[in-house]
Structure 1
Amino acid sequence: MKVTSIKVKLLLIFLPFVIVSFAILSGISYFISRQALNQSVEDTAMSIGADYSHRIESQINGARVQLESFSSVSPIYNPVDKQTLVKNLNDCSKHLDGLANIIYLYPSGSGLRPDGSKVEAGDREYFKKTIANCKPVVSDVIVSRTTGKVGINVAVPVLNQGQITGVLTGSMAMDSLAELVKELQFEDSGYGYILDSTGTIIVNPHNKDIEGKLTLSSKTINPDLNLKVTELDNNLVNLFNKAASSGNQVRGEYISEEGVNVIGIITPINLAGGNRWFMVVNAPKEEALHEVNALMWAMLSVSIVCLVAAILFVIIISRRIANPIALIRDECLLLANGDLRERERTIVSHDEIGQLVNGFADMRNNLYALILKIKDSTNQMADISCNMAEGANQNGETANKIAITITEIAEGATQQNKQIIEIREKVEATREHVHAGLAEAVATLEYATGTSQATNEGIKSLQAATGQLTCLQDIVKSATGSMQNLGRRSHEISSIVDIITSIAGQTNLLSLNAAIEAARAGEHGRGFGVVAEEVRKLAEQSAHAATQISNLVQDIQSETDATVRIMEDSMTQVDLQVSNFENVGEVIKKATNAIVQSERNISSLQNHLEILEKYSISVQEAVMTIAEVVEGTADATGEVAATSEEQSASTEEISALSKNIADIAEELKVLINKFRV
C-alpha cells in the first residue's frame, strides 16, 4: 500500500524505533531485577535455615556445656561415696537450664538419679558411644525412662585424671525444640521442621501427626497418614540425599507432602558424637515469588505508560509538522474550486511555513473583494425574481393541494358511508351471534351442573366399594395367616408321628428279643413269650397307624400349601383391585374439580356475553349517527372545490411573469457562483 500522508510516514519512521527500544529496555530491566529478587529470596531462606539450625545446635550444645561443667565438679568425677554423689547430683539438678533431668551412669551401665533412685541405661546407644570414644554424644530421638517423654539425651564423659569414671547424661524434651521451630516465619505460610540423620521428621509444629512417621530418604508414604500425596516427590528425596551426602546447605523446588509446589532449604545441624540432623525451611513457590510477579506487573505497567507517552509524543510532533502542510494543501484545493471564503488562521509561526500561509491568505483576500462586488449586484436581481416566482409557486401549490384534498375528502366521505353501512350490518349480525352464544352458555351451565352432581354420587359409591374391598382384604389376610399356622401345626404333627413310628419299631424289636429269650427259658418263659408276642402285635399296629397318620398329615400339608398359595394370589388380586379403585377415585375427583371449574368459567362467559350484547346495541346506534355526519361532510366539500379552482387560475398568470425575470437573473448568477465568497 502506497503511503501518501507525511504524518503517517513520520509515524512509521519513529514508532517502531520507540517501541523496540522500550521493549528491549524493559526486558533487560525485568531480567536483571528478577535475578536479583530470586537471589534475595534464596538468600533469605538460606539465612533463615542457617539461623535456626544454629539456634538448635546452640541449644543442644548449651546442654552439653552445662553437663560438662557439672562433670568437672570434684564430688561427681571423684565421689567419696554414694550419698555425696546423690547430694551433688541433686544440687546440679536445681540449676538445670534446658534439660529435664540429669543421671549419673557408672561404666557398668547402672546409674543414679538426683533423688537416689537407680536406673539402668547400659543398653542405650549414646551410653555405649560415650564410653567407647570418651566424647560427648547426642542421642537419636528416644523415650526417656525417667520422664516418659519423647526427647533426646545429651551424654558427656566424666573424667578423672584422663580416665573415664562414668557418664553424665541429661534428657531434653522435643517440646522445647518444637517451640523454637514454631517461631520460624518465611513468607506468609512458610514453616520449618527438623529431620534426624535418617531423614525421619522428628519435629514438625505444622503437622505433628507425621512426626516419627514420615521419612524423606525414600518415596514411600504410610497410607494411614492420609496425606494429599501417595508418595514423596523425587526432587525432595534427592534434595535430602544430597544434603546428607555433602553435609552442606542445599536449595530446591519440589511438591511437599501437602501437595503444594514449594521452595525448600535443607541445612545440616551438626551435633556432638557425629550425629547430624537437618533443618528444613520451605514456603509455597507462589508466595516466595510474589515479589517477582509484583515487579513484573509494575515494570509492565510502567513500560506501557512510558510507551503510550512516547507514542503520544511522536504523534504530537508528527502533527505539528504535518498539519500546517496539510492545511495549505486544503486551502489550495478550495481556491482551485472557486472557494474564496475567509477562514480563521490556525497557524501562527514565523518560519517558512508561516510565511507561505500568510502570502496565500493575502492572495485569497484580494480575489474575495473583487468577486464579492459582482456577486452582490447579481444576488439583488436574483432575489427579486426568486421572491416573485416563489410567491406564485406557493399560491399555485396551495391551490392544487386544496383541490386535491377536497377531492380526497369527498371520495373518503363516500367510501366511509359505504363502510358504515357494512359496519352496521356486521354489528347487527354480531349481536345475533352473541345472543345465540348466551343461550348455549346457559344450556351448557345446566348440563355441567348435572354432570357435577352425578360424579359426586359416583365418588360416594366408589368409596363404599373401596371400603368393602378393604374389609375383604383384611379377611383374606386373616385366613391366609390361619392357613399358614395350620401348615406349621401339620409339620409339628408329622414330627410327632415320626417319633411314634420310631418308638413302635424299637418296641417291636424289643418284643422279638423278649420272645427269643422266652423260648430259651422253656416252660418258665412261655408266659413271658405270650406277652412279648402281644406287645409285638401292638407295636406293629401302632407303626401302621402312625404311617396312616403321617400320610394324612402329608395330604393336609399339601392341601394347606395349595390353599395358602391361592389365598396369597387372592390377596394380591384384592390389593390390585383396591389400588385400581383408589386410582379411579382420584381420576373421578380430578374430573369433578374440572367440571366445577367449567361451571365457573361458563357462568363467567354468560356474564361477559350479556355485557357484550349491551355493547353491540350501543355500537349500532353510534354507527347510525356517524353515517348522518358523513353525508353532511360530502355536501360541503363540493362548494370548497369550486372556490379552489378559481384561485389556481390566478396563480398561474403570476407564475408566468416571474419566470421570465428569474431566467435572466439565473444566467448571471451561474457565472458568479463559480466563486464562493
Structure 2
Amino acid sequence: MKITSLKKKLLLILLPFFTLSFLALSGIGYYLSEQALSHSVNETAEAISSDYAQRVGGYIYSAKTQLQSFASIRRIYNPADEKSLLEAMNDCQNHLDFLENITYVYLSGSGLRPDGSRVALGDRDYFKKAVQTQKPAVSDIIVSRTTGKAGVNVAVPVFFEGKLTGVLTGAVSMEKLLEVIKDAKFQNTGYAMVLDSSGSIIIHPRNPELIGKLSFGDKTINPELNLKATQLDERLVNLFKDAAASGKPLHGKYSFEDDAKIGTITPIDLIGGQRWFMMVTAPEAEAEQQVNSLARALLIASLICFILAIIFVPIVSGHIAAPIAALRDECLVLAGGDLRAKTSDITSHDEVGQLQTGFANMRSSLSAMVIKMAGASNQVTDNSISLSDAAEQIGNTAGQVAAAIGQIAEGATHQAQQITQVKEKMISNSDQINAGLAEAGVTLESASRTSTVAAEGVRSLNGAIEQLGTVRNTVHFATESIQNLGRRSEEIGSIVGIITGIAGQTNLLALNAAIEAARAGEQGRGFAVVAEEVRKLAEESAQAAQQIGNLIRDIQAETSVTVRTMESNLEQVDLQVNNIEVSGQAMNEVIGEIAQSEKSVGKLKNRLQVLADDIAVIQEALVDVASIVEETAASSQEVAAAAEEQSASTEEMAALSKLVAGIADELQALVSQFQV
C-alpha cells in the first residue's frame, strides 16, 4: 500500500522509534542497575564476612596473647616447685578474659591444672605441634574432658633461658565465639556461620543441630539430619573448595532445602597455620528485592512513556504536516499561472516558516519578472524596426571606411621596412659592446682570483708567524726547564756528597765497633757481626753515592750542551719571524694595488653593462614598434575585409530584426497568460 500522507509517514516513523527507544533504555537501565546492585550486595556480604572473620581470628589471637603473657611469669617458666607453679596458675585462672581454663603440660605430656589435678595430654596433636615447632598452635574442635563443652585449645610454648620447659594451654569455648558472630546480619534474615578447614560447620547461630554433622566440603548429607535433600548443591561445594584453594573471599549462589541463597566465604587464618572459614548467607530473594522493584518501576515508566508517545506523536505529526500541506496547495495555484500575492497562515520561524517565506519571495520574483518580460517584449518590437533602418546606413558607411583603411595599410608597410634597417644597425653595435663587456669580465675575474690568492698568502704568512711565535715560546720554556734541571742536578750532587761523607763516617764507626767487640771477647761476638754488616752497608752506600755523582756530572754536561743548542735555535726562530713579517708587508701592498685595479675594471664593466642594457631596451622597443607597424598593416587589411563583411552583415541584420519582432509578439502572447 502506497502512503501519500506526510502525517501517516511521520506516525509510522516516530511511533516505532520512540517505542524501541523506551524499550532499549529500560533494558539497558535494568541491566546496569542489576549489575550495580548485585555488585553492591556482594561487596556488602564480603565486608560483613571479612569483618566477623577478623573478629573470630582476633579472639583466638587475644587468647594466645594472654597465654603468652602467663608464660612470661617467672613462677610458671621457672617455678621453684610445683606448689609455686599452682599458685601462679590459680592467679592466672582468676584473670581469664578469653579462656575457659588453663593447663600447664610438662614435656613428658603430663598436664597440671590449677586445682592440682593431672591429665594426660601427650597424645594431643596441638601439644605435639607446639613442642615440635616451638611456636603457638591451635587444636581442632574438641570436647572438654572437664566441662563437656565444645571448643578449641590454644597452646603456647614455655621457655626458660632459651630452652623449652613445657607448654601452657587454654580452652576457648565455642559458646563465646558464637557470641562474637551472633549479631552478624546480612539483608533481612541473613546470618553468619563458621566452618573448619574441612568445611564442617563448627558455629551456627540458627541451627545448632548442624554443628559437626554438615560439611560443605562433602556433597553427601548426613542422614541423621533428616533434611529434604540427600546431597548438597554442587555450587555450594565448589564455592567452598575454591575459597579453600585460593585463600581469598569468594561469593556465589546455591540452593539449600529448596531455598535459593547467596553466600560469601572468607578464610580465617589462625595461629599455627590453622584455617577456618566465615560464611555469610541470605535468601537470594532478599538480595534481588531491590532489583525486582527497579524492574517494575522501569516497566511502569516505559508504559507511561509509550502512552504519552501514542498521544503526542499524532499531534506533533499534524502540526508538522499542516503547513507543508498549505504550501502544497499554494504550489498548485502557482502552477496554474496565478502569481498574485496571498496571505499565509504560517507564522512559525523554523524551516517550514523559512520555506513559506522563500516561496512567497519566489512568487513575488516571478511576478516582477513576468511584468518586466511584458515590457521588454514591447521594447524588442520597437527596437527591431529601428535596427533594420540603422543596418542600411551602416552598409553605406562601410564602403567608405574600406577605402581609407587601404591607404593606411600601404604607409604602415613602408615604415616597417625603415624600422628593420635601424634594428640591424643596433644589433651590430650591441655585438661590439658585448665583446668589450666579456673582455672586461675576464679581466675582473683574473684580478679577483689574484686578490684571493694574495689574501691567502697573507693569511698563510700570518699563520706561519703565529706558529713560529709558539715555537719560540716552547723553545724558551724548554731552555728554562733544562736550566732548572741543571740547578736541581747540582743540588742532588751536594746531597750525594753529604751521603758519601756519612757513609765514610759510618765505615769508621763500624771499624771502631768491631775493634771494641774484639776486645770484649766472646760477649762482643754478636756485636762484631752487626758492626761488620754496618761496615758493608756503608761501603755499598759510598759506592752507590759515587755512581750517582758520576751520573749527575754526565747530566750536567749534556744539559749545558742542550741549553746552548736551544739558545741558537731561538735566535734562528726570531730571524725567520722578522723575514716573514717583511714578506707580509710586501704582500699587503700587492693586495692593495690589485684591489685598486679590480675596482677600476669593475667600473668599466658596469658602464659597458649599462650601455648594453640600453641598446637591448632600444632593440626591444624597435622590435615592438616593428611588430606594431606590421600588425597595423595587417589589421588595416583585416579592417578593410571586415568592412566588406559588415556591409553584407547589415543586410542579414535587417532580416534578423524582422525575425526578432515576430518572436517578441509571440513572447507577449505567452506573458499575457499569467495573472499579476
Q: TM-score, normalised by structure 2?
A: 0.47
- State the structure with more CA Rg: 2
Q: TM-score, normalised by structure 1?
A: 0.47
